[in-house]
Amino acid sequence: MWRSLRLVSALGLCASAFAQSSTVDSYTSTESPIAKAGVLANIGPSGVKSSGAYPGVVIASPSTTDPDYLYTWVRDSSLVFKMLIDQYTSGQDTTLRAHIDNFIAAEANLQQVTNPSGTVSTGGLGEPKFNINETAFTGAWGRPQRDGPALRSISMITYANWLIANNNESYVTDSLWPIIKLDLDYVMNNWNETTFDLWEEVDSSSFFTSAVQHRALRQGSALAAEIGQSSVVSGYSTQADNILCFLQSYWNPSPGFMTANTGGGRSGRDANTVLTSIHVFDVEAGCDGVTFQPCSDIALSNLKVYVDSFREIYSINGGIRADQAVATGRYPEDVYQGGNPWYLASFAVAEQLYDALIVWSNEGSLTVTDVSFPFFQQFDTNITPGTYSSSTPIYSSLTTAIRNFADGFVAMAAKYTPSGGGLAEQYTRSDGTPTSAVDLTWSYASALTAFNARAGKTSASWGASCLSVSPTCSTSMAPTVPVVFNVNATTVVGQNIYLTGSVGALTDWSTTGAILMSSADYPIWSTAVTLPANTQIQYKYIIVDNGEVTWESDPNNEFTTSMSGITTINDVWR
């Protein structure tokens, strides 16, 4: 009987998805050319909003005050040109060759510019940003930032592989390889040094940086072997293996997310991790967790924890159900420019989900594990761990719901995109008004990559499949188990039920960070949480009504988690 009910539910989801999809279809159709024009407008020398920028130089934004972004960042430029190079090499846009060649020349020049981080041979490749006339920026800044060389080499290796496939290996060997090698050598020699993070605020080890460094060395080793540069292959491969081991240490098993930075004093829930997943996506790697592929159980668990951390901190998310898309930002503790949602963060969540759907479709099945169970349980409260073939109603129901969920994040960005289609850096947490830097190049690029993923387009493989960590790699991960909390609670309009408790996965008794429960089966409120195995847990439910908190009566609820498998707890509000 319950399977029949699931099928009815799936049909209902289809109707909802079609309604949402039509809105997103319209938005992607109109916004795509605007976003593409927005990217090109910010590239020198001919971009209409990049006056003064040298050829191939990408400005972050034409904004010159509050904030002043009229600079070129190695990270932003490399991510933007990775997108353009993918479009060019896939045949999506064959007019981009001159832009790509200008970019390569500009970055080769910037590598040689002495700057506050050093010279080309003494650390200068870690300098994050430069003036748009290719001179050094000498003001105070968070430096070094070690993701730039990795991302720059990744973008150029993508181009190099295409050139080799099109019988132009001599240009790769003579012109591209010297540029790429400088960056790869920097990564190889400095990956285990601290770095300022993606947001230029925390000096520690950073998950995003480590992950793209691993990808760069893995791709660089393969390219070196291809063009006969065998002397560097062993060094790149050895350090890639070491980084892959180190990457596993970022995993926080309870409540199941990647800690974005090893320092900084924040919760660690951060768009850094979602951006990592989409920028290491390799369609041939399936749902591999070791390389944090978008459909891996740890990446899906991480996504839920990240998204849920924003549900109650932005006014524009008020009234949105716990299983629906919301506006997301960099990290919940953010205060920069008011600490608002970012367009690129909303697009990144959607892109990870679209990437996951691509792989499930290719493989003809999806797998629910104990780790990913809380993610899938949002869409099917009766789901159990297992593998579901594409021929089953459960697979259809889940993938339909997840695509609709992904579309919801694009729809959120669309809702707060002004009529002209311009994408700023942020939109305000109070009413969604675009704010901070206008015409952010990265915002436009992130829209385009999300739209491509929605259309089923993927980039070339980078070699993530069949990788494994060394048997000597030690990452001490404590065992965890999924626990479903259900509470029968009657509420009035405006009230929501939250869960909090005695361990970090239950927010350490926090009321402001408590876990919002889903009312999809009202009056039963439900949520799934990953908790430490074989651990005594205390918890309570609270009602929040316009900021006013009501605790259920004493004593605390208490139980001990199992060693394995799913535990379901059914409570009644006291």
Query: What SS3 class is residue 538?
Result: strand
For residues 81 and 159, is the Cβ–Cβ distance under 8 A? no
Closest CA to 216 of 273, 161, 171, 280: 280
Paired with 551 in beta bridges are 542
Q: How far apart, in whole angstroms, are the C-alpha atoms of residue 533 and residue 559? A: 12
CB-count exposure of residue 257 (10 Å: 0-12, 13-18, 19+): buried
Contact 420, 35 (CB under 8 A): no
Phi and psi at residue 204, to the nearest 5°:
-165, -155
Closest CA to 131 of 106, 102, 104: 106
| Consecutive H or E run containing 74 | helix 74-89
Which positions ≥6 away from 100 have C-beta within 8 Å?
A: 81, 84, 85, 88, 159
Burial of 194 (0-12, 13-18, 19+ CB in 10 A): middle
The CA-atom distances, in angstroms, between 194 and each of 197, 210, 261, 366 are 9, 10, 10, 37
With tokens 């933007």, the residue in question is 80
End-to-end CA distance of the chain, in Å?
A: 32
137: left (phi over 0), alpha (psi -120 to 50) or beta: beta
Inter-axis angle of helices 233-247 and 177-190, nearest 10: 50
Q: Phi, psi at residue 540, to the nearest 5°? A: -150, 160
Was 177 annotated as part of a binding site? no
**Distance, CA of 45 to CA of 52 (rounded, Å):** 7
Token pair of 375, please?
A: 């993610």
Q: Which are the catalytic amino acids?
A: 197, 200
Spatial distance between the Cα atoms of 384 and 376, rounded to a whole number of angstroms:
9
> Which residues does the annotation place in the binding site for substrate?
141
> Which residues does the annotation place in the binding site?
141
